[in-house]
């Protein structure tokens, strides 16, 4: 995987301190810690309802000392912002092309040296959607890594890492359990989040 702000020593330390300070002053609390068995993992990012999710996610990642990569639509990576987005851990996803993103993502996780957490929003969009995409699930199964349920609640101003979810192979039943976990959380635009 490419070098990011999370693997840039001095900058990482500085941004972690600024993130801790900002979130504290803004009244946010960060909960949880990455379990030892999830050093390589797929993190569900939900609810995803606003462009503000990215900066808050980055700050929370600094506070929790994560080494994250995240998937974003290809248009975010156009000139002049592409290099910055990649440095922030972004991986461009071209939704107009049919490619094996699951296999490529799983192989990248397996090949990475050290820790790596791939953040995938199951909604696949900030707009309201009833049906969640299962890409995160299949990436974790293919890479043989755990799924960590990460969350952000704007109403109560807390974010963090929830429990590890171990897929059973029954995607429909597993998705019902995962969505039930996220039901209490409110995104920035709460009406756009569908967890039922």
The answer to whether position 195 is within a domain reads: no
User: Hey, what are 106's tokens?
Assistant: 């799983």
**Structural domains of the chain, count:** 1
**pLDDT confidence band for 126 (50 / 70 / 90):** very low
The answer to whether position 194 is within a domain reads: no
The answer to whether position 99 is within a domain reads: yes
At 160 the three-state DSSP class reads: strand
pLDDT of residue 195: 52
The answer to whether position 178 is within a domain reads: yes
The answer to whether position 137 is within a domain reads: yes
Torsion of CA 99, 194, 170, 104, to 10 degrees: 20
- Which of 22-36, 93-107, 123-137, 174-188 ranks highest by mean pLDDT? 22-36
Q: Supply the range of the domain harboring residue 181.
A: 5-189
The answer to whether position 141 is within a domain reads: yes
């Amino acid at each position: 995987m490419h070098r990011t702000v999370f693997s840039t020593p001095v900058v990482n330390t500085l941004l972690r301190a600024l993130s801790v300070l900002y979130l504290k002053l803004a009244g946010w609390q960060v909960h949880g810690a990455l379990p030892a068995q999830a050093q390589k993992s797929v993190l569900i990012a939900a609810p995803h309802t606003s462009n503000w999710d990215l900066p808050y996610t980055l700050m929370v990642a600094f506070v929790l000392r994560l080494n994250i990569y995240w998937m974003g639509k290809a248009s975010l990576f156009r000139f002049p912002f592409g290099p910055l987005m990649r440095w922030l851990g972004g991986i461009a996803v071209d939704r107009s092309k049919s490619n094996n993103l699951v296999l490529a993502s799983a192989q990248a996780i397996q090949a990475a040296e050290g820790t790596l957490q791939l953040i995938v929003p199951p909604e696949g969009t900030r707009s309201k959607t009833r049906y969640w995409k299962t890409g995160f699930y299949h990436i974790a199964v293919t890479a043989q890594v755990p799924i960590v349920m990460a969350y952000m609640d704007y109403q109560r101003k807390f974010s963090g890492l929830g429990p590890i979810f171990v897929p059973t192979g029954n995607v429909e039943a597993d998705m019902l359990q995962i969505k039930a976990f996220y039901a209490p959380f409110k995104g920035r635009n709460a009406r756009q989040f569908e967890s039922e």
